[in-house]
Structures are given as C-alpha cells and as structure tokens.
Chain A
Amino acid sequence: MPVNGTRGYHSGLVDLASGLISREIFVNDEIYAQEQERVFARSWLFVGHESQIPNPGDFFASRMGEESVILCRDRRGSVHVFLNSCRHRGMKVCRYDDGNTTVFTCPYHGWSYGTDGALVGVPFFREAYHSELDKSKYGLIEVAQLCCYKGTVWACWDASAPPFLEHLGEFRRFLDLMLDGWDGREGQAELLGGVQKWIIPCNWKWPAENFSGDTYHNISHRSVDLVGAGPSGRSRRDYGELNVARRLHVSLPDRGHQTITYVLPRDYQPQAAYQNSPEVAEYFRHCEEERRRRPGENSRMIGAPGEIFPNVALLPRQPRTLAVWHPVNAHQTEVWRFFFVDRDAPRSVKNFLRDYYIRYSGPAGMTEQDDMENWNYAHAASRGVIARRYPYTYEMGMGHVVEDFEFEGLRMPGRVVDLTKAMASEEPMRNLYRRWAQFMEAESWDDLMTWRRDAPREAKAAE
C-alpha cells in the first residue's frame, strides 16, 4: 500500500496533538524502507561489548540495522566496526559468529583484509591486475563514528551525527545503572555467556515501544507472576523496595530516550532479596550497602525497562540485560539479548544469575515469550486493509507530564510522569514516536540536534 504523500510523519501518521498513530508505520513496506535510510543509517547503534573481543584479532559478527558488521580488535589493540561486505563483489568476509583471526578472507574470489580493515591480499594482483589496483582505496568500509563507553561499543554511519555521549544526553545516568557495578563502582559489567538471538514476526517498533516503559501491559505477565520465577521464588523479580519508592516515567523529548525508574527515599534501607540462595543474597546485600555509601545520585535510583533511541532496550536491574531490536523487514525483527553480571562477582553468583536470566528472558523465557505473543499477533492483526484504516490511540496521560521533577532532593531530567498514583502513561511511547517522526522528516542532523539550537537561548535566559 503506498503511503499518502500529503500526510507528513509528524503531523499525519504520528499525530501527537490528538494522540493517534497510524498502523501504517508498523506494517507499511515503503515506510520500513525509508526507515533504513533515515533512522538506522543516521543513528547511534549498539554493536557489542569489549569483553567479547579482549585480545588482538578477536572479532564478533554484529548488526547495525539490516547490515552485517564486524566488531574487531586489531593487532595494535584498537577497536573497529566494519561493514561485513567485500569491496569486490559484496560477499560477507566474516561468516562466523565470533573468533580470532589475522585476516578476514572473502570466500568468493579471495580478497583478504587485515583486522585494521586494510585490503592486504588480492589474488593475481601482479598477473591479472598488473599491480595497478590501488589497494588503499578498497579497505573494508568502516563506520563514521565509534564510541566505547564503559565496555559497550556503539557505532554510527553518519559523520554529522553528534558524539555518542551528546546523543545520550542526560540518559547516561540510566545507562550507567546497568554498566556500573551493583556496588556502584564504575563500569563493572561484563557479558555473561553468549548472545541469545531469535526472530519474531513483528515490526521492530513493537518491542521498542514495549521496553520504552509500557507498564500498562503488566496484566500479560500475570501468569508468570503466579508461577514465581523470581530470584526469591516470588513474582518475577525481587522489588520489595518498590513499595516505598516513587515509580516514574522519564522521557527525554529532544533525544527520544525514555525509561521507567524508581527513586528511593533518602533514609531507605535495603530489603532482603535473592532468597533462593544464601550466598547470592549475602553478595547483593553487601553490594547494596556499598552502593549507598558512595556519593552521587544514582545510589537512590533503581533501573527498570527503558529504551535508547532507536532500538536498544535496557533492563538494568532484574534480569540485567540489554536487547537490540534488529529490523529484518517490516514484518520481522531479529532480537539479540545480551546478559550482564559484575565481573568481580563470585562464580556461584554468576551461575545463579545465568539460571534466573534464562528462566526469565528470551524465546523460552517465561516472561519474554508472553510479550512476543502480544507483539506477533498485534502486528498480524494490523496488516489488513480494513485494520490499517484505524489508528492506535496513545492518549493515555496526555497533558499530565511534569518538568523539573524532584523527590527529596533528587532531580529527574526531561518529562516525568509519576506512576506511583497514575499506574501507567503513554508519554514514553509518544516520546519514542515523536523522535521517530523527527528522524523520518529531518533532512540532516542539523534539524535533529534541537538542543544545540536551544542551548544559546537557555544560556541567555539564565543570565
């Protein structure tokens, strides 16, 4: 079905004034194709974790949008991200999931590249090319920008995009909740085991929306709550402290990142958790105690599901995982889920968490498989010509957001909805689609970096 050219993304298909969003943005193949250029080719995307490539020559085959890429560490120890496609005829030069190598050799005609991306081997270079091919012109295509942040590796194809940390903005503190140690030390997270990968039959924005902070769908998880898959054999998680915390939606409108977060009272004392193992319980009790001793605001914050625009989901607390929603086509998404632990945690703690993470997450996990039922069938039921006529409503909580939110001295950035009483809101979803529409309409990053335009005005107002 062709897109109606008279309806812009921002004012038509994503109508935030009325809270209505067209189903077309989920099911239309033409819109999906435009997304690849306007969203994925311009955004910062998660590629992997440095603990996957600790040694020179280590590599991990990753993805950026639809593209296959290679995350690798060269002989000198530098980290690179390359398009996994030979410059001669485009064949993948790396067909393993991970490993260690001195060269990436194309199996088609034999062109070979060093781990720094340089074209080093061309069969019959002297005989067939008469030594005339300029090898320096045909190295592997490297991303325009790369950022290693507390072990995580992010990359971007667009040289005009802002640096990663500027793109993250004040959302950095929420990412830190996952990447710092449970005891509050900086950057202690490491990957646990391999990456779970599976394909689901729905558009990538379904899980992106869900992880933006959809607390409204908790009824879907009622059955697993009853089973008690959590680390103490109750519910899905140990969140006893939430009874005294303020539960918030935090959305950064100029960035498109949003999350649920919990803010504890100043005098809060940690609750018992991980009661299925005394050793694990003691480890986390100790970490919680240490965390509260450290200066900084994050010791009073508890991470919860959130989304970094466009397709990275965080679950900083339980289970501590990061997911990437890789688009395959308008109707398919390949999910990659990475699991994290503190690198200094005892082996017994890591083993306990592995069991819990697997029990919770992924295609066989008790919580995630029920989510997928919703996304899969909602997508399928929205593809028909009749269904497409009727937009989804995102009206919940419109006009009830707060800026400059503060709770007992702890300030929150962006737009906040206090869910402690409201229970749910759709502000995070509106925030996601507002940013998505901006990307779909903007001609360049100049149009997208609104904070740079606003900064001089704000500075002048503050004078």
Chain B
Amino acid sequence: MSGIINVRELAIGTRVVLSSGAEVEIVGNPGDGVWLFGRSLASNGDPGVGGEEEMIFAQDVVEVRS
C-alpha cells in the first residue's frame, strides 16, 4: 500500500482532515479522483470556521477520520 488516500473511494458523510488542519465532511464526490465537495466542520487555525461548503483538492486530504 502506498499510504496515499484514494479520494474516489470516499463516501458522502466521511470526515477527512485537510493539510490546513481543517476537518471536513464529504457532501459530494464527482469520482474524478481529483476533487471532493466538503462542508467544513472545524479548523485548528480558526475554530470559528464551520458549515461552509467548498471544493477540496485531493492532495489536500491528509487523513480519513470516519
């Protein structure tokens, strides 16, 4: 195993951690292996951030929580 996260396999509802430290819940996956749609839950840098939807680049996903 390479240890690289295959974002194509991430189901809606999965929580992931980004390189910025933010935790995001997957709300959509186009299955292109490059992008995810996520809703931010919390951020180490800014605990006030949360609830915003954004596109997430595959290389930014560093950890799968659940």
Contacts and interface: CB of A to CB of B under 8 A. Distances in A.
Contacts of B55: 112, 120-121
Interface in A198-255: none
Interface in B33-48: 34-35, 37
A92 to B, nearest CB: 13
Interface in B8-49: 28, 30, 32, 34-35, 37
A84 interface: no
Interface string A94-122: 00000001110101001010000000110
B57 A103 contact: no
B6 interface: no
B62 to A, nearest CB: 14
A346 interface: no
Interface string A120-136: 11011000000000000
A290 to B, nearest CB: 46
B30 A102 contact: yes
A120 B35 CA distance: 10
Contact of A103 (B35, B58, B59): B35
A110 B30 contact: no
A123 B34 CA distance: 9
A110 B35 CA distance: 8
Nearest to A101: B30
B30 A124 contact: no
Identify the interface centre among A101, A105, A121: most chain B CB within 10 Å of its CB.
Answer: A121
Contacts of A120: 55
B59 A105 contact: no
Nearest to B36: A121
Contacts of B35: 103, 105, 110, 112, 121
A67 B35 CA distance: 26
A105 B28 contact: no
A110 B28 contact: no
Contacts of A121: 34-35, 55, 57
Nearest to B32: A105
B30 A123 contact: no
Contacts of A107: 32, 34
A105 B57 contact: no
A107 B34 CA distance: 8
Interface of A: 101-103, 105, 107, 110, 112, 120-121, 123-124
6 contacts: A102-B28, A102-B37, A110-B58, A112-B34, A120-B55, A123-B57
